[in-house]
Amino acid sequence: MATTNHTDTPPGPTGYPLVGNTLQFADDRLGFVTDTATEYGPVASFNVAGTTIYQVSDPELVEQVLVQNNQSYIKGDLFQEALGDALGEGLLTSEGSAWREERHRMQPAFHPKMLEQYSQQMTDGVVRLLDSWADGDTRDIHEDMMHLTVEIAAQTLFDVDVSDEQGDVSDALEAVMDYAERQYHPPSWLPTPENRRYQAAIQTLEDVADRIVEKHDEGDGNDIVSILLAAQGEDITRERVRDEIITILLAGHETTALTLTHTLHALGRNPEQRAQLQAELDDVLDGRTPTMADLDDLPYTEQAIQEGMRLYPPVWELVREATEPDNLGGYEIPAGTTVTMHPWVIHHDDRIYDDPTTFRPERWTDEFESSLPKFGYFPFGGGPRRCIGDRFAMLEARLVLATIAQEWTVDPHDDLSFAPSITLRPDDPVEMTVRRLD
């Protein structure tokens, strides 16, 4: 895109005295950022809770922030305020050399050879969940997917069974995300119901993480906890290991659970696409549980997941803070500026996607993907801080969807509604009637 230098602040929606755009943003976050991009262009600005935010909605500029000039940006204060207390010095919140060293240590746990080992545990978990379903039941599919992905993350990445406490873990993670969603919080020392729930959730997660650490012999195994414990005495403490466990439980289950919830809902609302998926599964699997080796023969299954993440990106917003001046689209970005980028906005841009609000897995041909701008689709972020577990998540999502959809249909009761925080979470239970296929 052409860059004309500007001396003023980027344009943006008019706010109110004292509160700026806070009320408009809080009322409808998804609509607000979409309208801002549509009306004010690829670089816009608005003010929320006293912070001036620069919104970037052009794929080339997103690439500039996340890749080309990534060394000039950090996660920043807004992200720390939302999740810092819960995640400590985990991979999502750490910066600089500490983050680089930790990511390097953890990378072997996501090697393709390890993913192959995880695949059986993933499908075993789905089979256990489906054993609890009965034909005609009404299920909260989001709750089911949250419990399932917590169990899978713990079993594969920590080599522990948390099936007996998955409900407690899911509830605690839900409380942390509820807290992160809110714009304002009472002082932490006030014993409000909100603060008590949040502190109890953190305590639950720390207790679970401590028990996971205690179950491991230092350096014995290839799971993440063993890898990190083996590094103790360098710059890793047991508290840091605990932070990483909580981080992975949150990041490693929340986004995949949302992907599955959204995709199952979309398939339930689109019988033609659902029938095409089931035909592929019948043809390739013929009733048996899928394996990692089957996935190359299940292209439509992958397309359904890709389209689910396009239409409903689990991470709908990426936030960065400039550590030094930059220039985005001709606008000067002072150090300390908060910059936001929204997969939600770009994934629904009709200049990039034909009929962008429609669920069409078949759009994901090789030709279509090669025609996309590099950051026309970025459900896992990008650059050095691209999600470390992206291949893990895609493996899990495809195996879970294939295992469910070859035996069951799900019929949603209502449309999806969202309460966006760090992730694109549903505002209400996602109730669906489950029916066993003949």
The CATH number given to whatever domain includes residue 146 is 1.10.630.10
Mean pLDDT confidence for 154-173: 82
Is 9 among the domain residues?
no
Average pLDDT, rounded, for the chain: 90
What is the model's pLDDT at position 45? 97
Is 52 among the domain residues?
yes
- Give 1's strand partners: none
Q: What is the pTM of this model?
A: 0.93
Residue 2 clears pLDDT 50, i.e. is over it: no
Among candidates 283, 278, 269, which has minimal Cα distance to 312?
269
Burial of 125 (0-12, 13-18, 19+ CB in 10 A): buried
For 25-61, how does the pLDDT look when each residue is reduced to its tens digit (9 = 90+)? 999 999 999 999 999 999 999 999 889 999 999 999 9
* Greatest pairwise CA separation for the chain in angstroms: 66
Is 8 among the domain residues?
no
Mean pLDDT confidence for 193-215: 86
**Alpha carbon distance 21, 9 (integer Å):** 15
Among 260-264, 340-344, 352-356, 421-425, the range scoring the smallest mean pLDDT is: 421-425
For 119-128, how does the pLDDT look when each residue is reduced to its tens digit (9 = 90+)? 999 999 999 9
Among candidates 61, 70, 80, 76, which has minimal Cα distance to 100?
70
Chain centroid to Cα 437, Å, comes to: 30
Is 15 among the domain residues?
no
What is the model's pLDDT at position 234? 59
How many domains are there within the chain?
Answer: 1
What is the model's pLDDT at position 220? 60
Is 17 among the domain residues?
no
In which band, very low, low, confident or very high, does the pLDDT at 395 lie, cut at 50, 70 and 90? very high
In which band, very low, low, confident or very high, does the pLDDT at 183 lie, cut at 50, 70 and 90? low
What is the model's pLDDT at position 303? 98
Is 238 among the domain residues?
yes
Among 110-124, 317-331, 393-407, the range scoring the smallest mean pLDDT is: 110-124
Is 179 among the domain residues?
yes
Residue 180 clears pLDDT 80, i.e. is over it: no
Among candidates 195, 165, 196, 422, which has minimal Cα distance to 315?
422
Q: Give the phi and the psi of residue 128 in degrees, each rounded to 5.
A: -65, -40
The amino acid present at 280, given as its one-letter code, is: E
Please report the DSSP string for 61-72 in residue order.
HHHIIIIITGGG
pLDDT: which is higher, 326 or 224: 326
What is the model's pLDDT at position 184? 63
Q: Structural domain of residue 199, as residue ranges? A: 22-436
Residue 288 clears pLDDT 90, i.e. is over it: yes
What is the model's pLDDT at position 233? 62
Q: Cβ neighbours of residue 199 under 8 Å, at least 6 residues apart?
A: none
Is 248 among the domain residues?
yes
